[in-house]
Structure 1
Amino acid sequence: MGNCLDSPARVDNRESSFGGSSKISPKPSQPSRLSSLIIPSYSNRSFTSSWSLQTPRSEGELLTSPTLKAFTFNELKTATRNFKPNNLIGEGGFGYVHKGWIGEQSLSPSKPGSGMVVAVKKLKSEGFQGHKEWLTEVHYLGRLHHMNLVKLIGFCLEGEKRLLVYEYMPKGSLENHLFRRGADPIPWKTRMKVAISAARGLAFLHEAKVIYRDFKASNILLDSEFNAKLSDFGLAKAGPTGDRTHVTTQVMGTQGYAAPEYIATGRLTAKSDVYSFGVVLLELLSGRPTVDKSKVGVEQNLVDWAIPYLMDRRKVFRIMDTKLGGRYPHKGACAAANIALRCLNTEAKLRPEISDVLSTLQQLETLTTTGSTPTATMSPSSVSENRGRSLRSR
């Protein structure tokens, strides 16, 4: 099976981005086997619906979603002021993202400063994200609605032109806040808020039997209050159903975030997303990107470098972001490190469910005031497995 993993996208200094530079498989996808949407009980802002996530029989059926507006290209040209360069807020292998303005009720183009600010993603005809992935994003974001998923407002499909219109996320991507040169340090409390809200969004997807497959810092967008929302669903897949334990697919994604068993076999499960979450949590703790070619040896790979320190509470401080200046609760950092270690287990079956990760992270919010420690412990077999990994990586 070919490995189509792409290197992490460069950090963009613009306000916001949608997606990164993940290369997309040209092979036709298998029909989704997801039959119904199950809403998790831990978010009162999710909505219950009786409709199906079964892949539509035709493109026309998909593009007639009652929850999405079909924009004309001229409408989006007007909304973005003809895609003026000073309205460009992000770019990647997929294309460009421009800021635009539309009426809150009419959704028609409006003047800058009036109505509602939106982000308009305009795909490159030669970009990594093809028509199939564009349809996948419309399919999932047109039907899945949650406070921690970026809202898709509408789309445009005219000839070769493919555009998507999203809610605008004023704080941009987590990647920019963590790694952009000159960015203000993110306080500990905010980092945990981002981790919790991103985990909540991922837990919602897993309850709906959807595997995200592209969980990474550049796909986590932040609103004005630093609440995280997951974006870019072009690689999302319907998860296994019935007696099946996994779905098999061509390996896609971004180097450093993909689970080892997925890279090796192409077998994809919800636990593959959990591994990716562990990588992002480690980035939040350390302030270091998952792959850093400026480093030497094992330090180039964040996971391989950090695992030995995560396994020893006395050494966790060595991986903590120096930009925090020591301003974080030691017990909280150790608990978060333990969560990351569990998520990064090389044995997929030993990783926790993302719902359990969410529950434990939420306990961290009260750690500072109560002085208690979340009840998240590594099983002996889990610790042993990670120890073996750390030794092999040296």
Structure 2
Amino acid sequence: MPNGNLATLLQEASHQDGHVLNWPMRHLIALGIARGLAFLHTSNIVHGDVKPQNVLFDADFEAHLSDFGLERLMIATLSETSTSASVGTLGYVSPEAVLTGETTKESDVYSFGIVLLELFTGKRPVMFTQDEDIVKWVKKQLQRGQITELLEPGLLELDPESSEWEEFLLGVKVGLLCTAPDPLDRPTIPDIVFMLEGCRVSPDIPSSQPSPA
């Protein structure tokens, strides 16, 4: 892909005060990843390793998911790594996948939630200790009302009265929903697409909501 992956893009953005990735671009990237996962899940395919390195960009900076399905199975078969390494990547893998060694649609949702929080805050999961992960850190800032602490330098110009500010808060809340400890409490990917497109976060969103084309 001509424009590399999300991990590289986020690293470059942090070196340039975040101005490479403005809010509309981050929002579109989040939607692109969610729509890609929705397509996979509708086809009963579990990705198994959702992380920034596996989000690739074409010439128009449209997000594409890589390293899943048969490709991932072949890599795992040829690799001599341990079984625990095959369930995902440290910092992005869900707690239940670590325990069971199995990936599910729900564990994909968890991984997507971590990517979402990283995309919106610029904080990488590996930056935290065992006592405080990215999810706990985000919750702490929200509880303290320190919303600006969540913003990447390039997003500091967001107007608190603007719709973009509301979209940012919505995206963060979606990320927290996705990383719920209980897999059954996490929204489905079609629900996530529905919410990221601007609908309010609500527990009564029907799980049968179809994914937009």
> TM-score if structure 2 supplies the norm length?
0.78
Q: How does 1:137-156 map to 2 (within 5 A)?
A: none
Q: Is 1:319 the equivalent of 2:150?
A: yes
After TM superposition, list the pairs within 5 Å mapping 1:344-383 onto structure 2.
Answer: 344-363=179-198, 374-377=199-202
1:223 is aligned, of 43, 54, 58, to 58
| 8 Å CA contact retained: 2:135, 2:176 | no
- The answer to whether the 8 Å contact 1:298/1:305 transfers is no
Q: Deviations over 1:204-223 (max 9, x none)?
A: 00011110001000110112
Gap change, CA 1:307 and 1:357, over 3 Å in 2: same
Please report how far the alpha carbon of residue 277 of structure 1 lies from its aligned counterpart in structure 2 after TM superposition: 0.4
Q: What TM-score results when the alignment is normalised by the length of structure 1?
A: 0.44
Rounded to whole Å, the distance in 1 between the matches of 2:115 and 2:9 is 13
TM-aligned CA deviation for residue 298 of structure 1: 4.6
Q: Specify which of 21, 25, 31 is matched with residue 190 of structure 1.
A: 25
User: For the pair shown, which has the larger CA radius of gyration, 1 or 2?
Assistant: 1
Specify the alignment match of 2:140 in structure 1. 308
Alignment of 1:171 onto 2:8: no
In percent, how many aligned pairs have the same letter?
34
Of 118, 131, 139, 1:283 maps to 118
Contact 1:214–1:235, Cα closer than 8 Å, also in 2: no
2:101 aligned with 1:266: yes
Q: For structure 2, which runs of at least 5 residues remain unmatched after alignment?
A: 75-82, 205-213
List gaps (5 residues or longer) in structure 1: 1-168, 238-249, 364-373, 380-394
Residue 269 of structure 1 deviates from its aligned partner by 1.6
- In the alignment, the residues of structure 2 paired with residue 186 and residue 298 of structure 1 have an alpha-carbon distance, to the nearest angstrom, of 30
Separation in 1, partners of 2:181, 2:56: 28
Alignment root-mean-square deviation, CA? 2.5
Deviations 1:272-304 (A, max 9, x none): 000000001001110121212xx66755x3223
Deviations 1:275-334 (A, max 9, x none): 000001001110121212xx66755x3223223335x49333322212322326221111
Give how far 1:185 is off: 2.9
Counterpart for residue 72 of structure 2 = 235
Q: How does 1:1-394 map onto structure 2 within 5 Å?
A: 169-180=1-12, 182-183=15-16, 184-233=19-68, 234-235=71-72, 250-251=83-84, 252=86, 253-292=88-127, 298=131, 301-310=133-142, 312=143, 314-327=145-158, 329-363=164-198, 374-377=199-202
More strand by share: 1
